[in-house]
Structure 1
């Protein structure tokens, strides 16, 4: 066996990390302060962001002392796709924490046999990401006119995506009590000079992008290539935000239209992300979605919304028998995944966790994070004496009486649940 490079040079930091918390700390040390601050996100006081994580600590596990299973299976099927574990990659935009961005993440997802979510605000084109071989679901906001949205859906289908995720809960609440990071509109000489004090203190991060410039002759573009019109230039991220801000918000009829258009173009699953209320989940089922993601946008949206994990069981108990229910928000360890599945989720989506891995060590860092989570799932299954994630249920948890947040339950539905 070849000796790892870091063992041959003990002064070099071991690229492997043993927890998502360590990945976060390495990302903090590696990234310029404004870039790292953008990953923390969280609107206003950060109440929802913090509750996304702390709520998991309120749930306990009920282990067995004897009867552990020698083999434990994490394979599951979600949105029509068989995945090696119930940990999926959530779409996130502006992945400038590493020059390979979404391509590195997609390669990691393909290597670990899971679904890659790609934002239409991504820094890499959908064609480039699909070329990695990852099972890719393309995420769209409700931006632009209908002809533009159809064009973007068609492009994603032609590139080879295997599902569409509509994210409609975004309100772009950027005000943060601790201040919002500066995101430049473009990278030019003037911007580089202004931001130099933050960048020069992170030489390894700077070296990664310097190598990209050496190889390609280009600095990273802060643009959204997946929003480029046919034959036209990609807008800057601020241009993309302006398009979203000037597009009238969608109605439920618009959701049905979007789902119908995607069915005609592709016929692959249509998923609605950002659901936090039972009545919205029921309307989503009526609109014909194949799945929903219970989410508060990572706490980077409307502050004061409950943690996503608090809303999983109420929603899954109403619609989980009709559509696949997943959740995202606050997943940091394998036991968090176990708790979400026990409350009715088919899988979880991770965001900040893999971005920290990407910042810390590129593709290998993302794989490291996925391995940590699936390793934690395996340990929890062993402790619970289960042989499969399919066996998980509320009976495997200790749930406080006031834990769940059941929002928007129709009166007629209350009598039967």
Structure 2
């Protein structure tokens, strides 16, 4: 007998903000807290969004274009909108996790980024047919990293993302959400009072006969068991941080193995962007890890124009951080980003309504991009330039090779 959802409601939402609110209502407090967490004061996570609001538009009253295009080639993949799925770890907010997100990405014609800290395997995610880019941290010995690259390549991924902008600050002024190492009977009993207040969340796991999975199958060694999230974290903590020579080695290994793009995520400074070019990367993401790295880093939208002007004619420049609306995407593209990556926005959609919720978020962003292009009198995202924005004096935060005062 098929179980019917007793909490079923109108699944459609008209904004990312509504998706966030539905996720907040549905998820246990520690789970939702992990999605919104930022390091220390949370300055950067707030600044990522606030900076977009400083940029304005000057719309036309007539001469609008009847047809508007968002199609673009990104890293060898044709996408139907310039919004990519950023890799995020352990998407156990929904039983289908990263598989649901990948299916949504495929259905909406965009790229799926899969974390090596994901709760679903690279084989399962790439097997959905989504254009999947596998993400790795610099963790473990070099032979272990090569083995993980080989596994991802064998699964059919279309590129590799190396994330280096993560210091995993545990210090948050409002307190860090508690994340168990694994979900077992003891953990379930301890978290029962918090989970009991959110029966809809547990109901969706119950009907599939599963429990939230906090292991990392993509870090599973041949013949061994998949580590827990904290086991993966321990490996990262005990691996010496990479040098630029290590970045060049990683890019070279991937290129020799697969011949597909190598993306470096976590670049903020112009001098780092130039060194990334020298290291042989194909693309960079201007990123501050969504406010989960070094708090006090300015919004990524403030750095994308200086970085793009410095290296955009040599490699692909992407942006992530603070994107909540289609107009945010248009602003990033006008300042030089080739596309944006989203993280929290699609996780809220996933928590709210699974694959359909992620598709909903992508549709909301698509609609916002289209509205902005219409108002600006443009027929394509390819026409976007800085002059389409009202940019306040001193908006950019360029760091060439020394720290600026602002």
Place the TM-score, normalised by the shorter chain, in its bin: over 0.9
1:29 aligns with 2:25: yes
Name the counterpart of 1:165. 161
Name the counterpart of 2:124. 128
Aligned structure 1 segments of 4 or more residues deviating by more than 3 angstroms: none
Contact 1:222 1:237 in 2 (8 A): yes
Give the one of 44, 48, 65 matched to 1:52. 48
String of CA shifts for 1:255-278, please: whole Å, max 9, x gaps.
Answer: 000001001111100000000000
SS at 2:90 equivalent = coil
Contact 2:158 2:260 in 1 (8 A): yes
Aligned counterparts, 1:190-339, within 5 A: 190-213=186-209, 218-339=210-331
1:381 aligns with 2:373: yes
Give the one of 339, 342, 364 matched to 1:350. 342
SS at 1:288 equivalent = coil
Distance 2:17 2:361 in 1: 10
Shift of 1:410: 7.9
Contact 2:112 2:131 in 1 (8 A): yes
Contact 1:279 1:410 in 2 (8 A): no
Shift of 1:93: 0.3
String of CA shifts for 1:145-166, please: whole Å, max 9, x gaps.
Answer: 0000000000000001000000
Shift of 1:219: 2.9
Shift of 1:81: 1.2
Shift of 1:12: 4.6
Distance 1:342 1:174 in 2: 35
Contact 1:114 1:135 in 2 (8 A): yes
Q: Which runs of 5+ in 1 are unaligned?
A: 412-417
Distance 1:220 1:199 in 2: 12
SS at 2:12 equivalent = coil
Distance 1:76 1:118 in 2: 21
Contact 2:126 2:132 in 1 (8 A): yes
Contact 2:118 2:218 in 1 (8 A): yes
Contact 2:92 2:213 in 1 (8 A): no
Give the one of 117, 120, 145 matched to 1:149. 145
Distance 2:213 2:24 in 1: 22
1:400 aligns with 2:399: no
Aligned counterparts, 1:78-157, within 5 A: 78-157=74-153
SS at 2:161 equivalent = strand
Name the counterpart of 1:415. none
CA RMSD, Structure 1 to Structure 2 (Å): 1.5
Q: Which runs of 5+ in 2 are unaligned?
A: none
Distance 2:189 2:208 in 1: 19
Distance 2:301 2:354 in 1: 29
String of CA shifts for 1:371-415, please: whole Å, max 9, x gaps.
Answer: 00011000000000000000000000000011100012589xxxx
Distance 2:313 2:401 in 1: 17
- Equivalent pairs, count: 400
1:70 aligns with 2:57: no
Distance 1:29 1:116 in 2: 27
1:364 aligns with 2:361: no
Contact 1:169 1:273 in 2 (8 A): yes
Name the counterpart of 1:340. 332
Shift of 1:52: 0.2
Distance 1:72 1:311 in 2: 28
Distance 1:408 1:200 in 2: 52
Distance 1:249 1:409 in 2: 21
Shift of 1:80: 1.6
Contact 1:87 1:350 in 2 (8 A): yes
Name the counterpart of 1:414. none
Shift of 1:91: 0.2
